Every structure is written in structure tokens, then in C-alpha cells.
Amino acid sequence: MVNVYDAKTFEVKWPLGHTDPVRSVCFSPCGEKIASGGGPHIGSTKINKDFSIRIWDAKTGEQIGSPLRGHGDAVSSLVFKPDDPNVLVTGSWDKTVKLWDLSTSTCLSTMRGHSKDNEECTCKHGQYPCDYEANPDCPVRAHSERVTAVAWSPCGRWLASGGDDCMVYVKDAKT
């Protein structure tokens, strides 16, 4: 649940809902939209986990379009591009960073981390996360653990992500 408050009175204007806890929330640069990312309770065994991104009209509280789906775990961070409120970047516990076009509700690109699900990753992956063995020659230059933070540079060219692997990756969004 996301509550939108009146900044002067701190009264709830309206609640915005997910089916699982909300892990991240942000306003668009001009304040017209709100984005929120869902994720399960820690240790949840629910079958229907809400890994969605939802976009809301900040003036009315109405959801804009259908939820965006594509992450395989909690959406832990999200931020609008500073110069384009129709572009959103999301980070997830599934070790990915995704770039979304909100005008078409499509994922433009995915930066995949070190994972057995990533064909480009040449590291060794066992059945459990602790079975991971890094390969120094692996071509993947992305997170090996959950992505916990994403940010745009003020000009909107550079995208940074941080994660539980104690790393920050910076990518030129034009490439």
C-alpha cells in the first residue's frame, strides 16, 4: 500500500494498492505521476507474488494502464528519467535493471546480472546462491546479488545501480 499525503496537513489523500508490500516509490520529475514497485514479504511462500510496477496519476490517485511485469523478484528501486517522464528504470532482487517506455508499457532493455539464467554469464552457479563461483573472465559487468538502488544522472545520460554485492555500476543510457 502506498499512501499519498497532503504535505501541509499530513492527511492521507488516497491509498494506492499492490497485492504484496511496496518496496519502492517515486514521483516523476514534474510530479504528475507516481511509480511504485511491489515485492513479497520476507520469507513469503505465497504463490502469487506481486513483482509489478504500477504507475499512478498523482492528481487523482487513479492507476494509469495495467501493471508492468517482467521482474522475477521484488522491485526494490525505481526512478523516472529526469528529462522524460515516460521513461522509468527499475532495479530488482532478481539481479536485473530494466528500462521501461511508459508510453507503450514495454521494457526497452534489461541489464542482467550474474545468474544461471543469464546465458552470457560464464561463472559457476550451483543449486543454491552460496554455490556461486565467480569467473574473472566473465563478460557480464552487472550485479551478482540483489539490485537495491537505481539513479539517473541529472542530465539523463548516465544510469547507476547499486546492490547487495557492494558494487555500483554506471552505464551510458545511450548505448
What is the grid cell recorded at 90?
527499475
| Number of residues that this document lists for the chain | 175
CA 30-33-37 angle, 5° bins: 125
Q: Is 155 a residue whose pLDDT tops 60?
A: yes
| Mean pLDDT, residues 88-111 taken together | 93
Return the pLDDT at 42: 66
d(CA 116, CA 41): 24
The whole-model pTM stands at: 0.80
DSSP state of 149: E
| Average per-residue pLDDT for the chain | 84
Neighbours of 175 (CB within 10 A): 5
The number of helix segments (H) and strand segments (E) in the chain equals: 0, 12
Spatial CB neighbours of 48, under 8 Å, sequence gap ≥ 6? 19
* Ordered structural domains, the chain, with CATH: 2-114+146-172 (2.130.10.10)
Q: Give residue-wise pLDDT tens across range 28-82.
A: 999 999 999 987 766 655 555 778 999 999 988 899 999 999 998 899 999 999 9
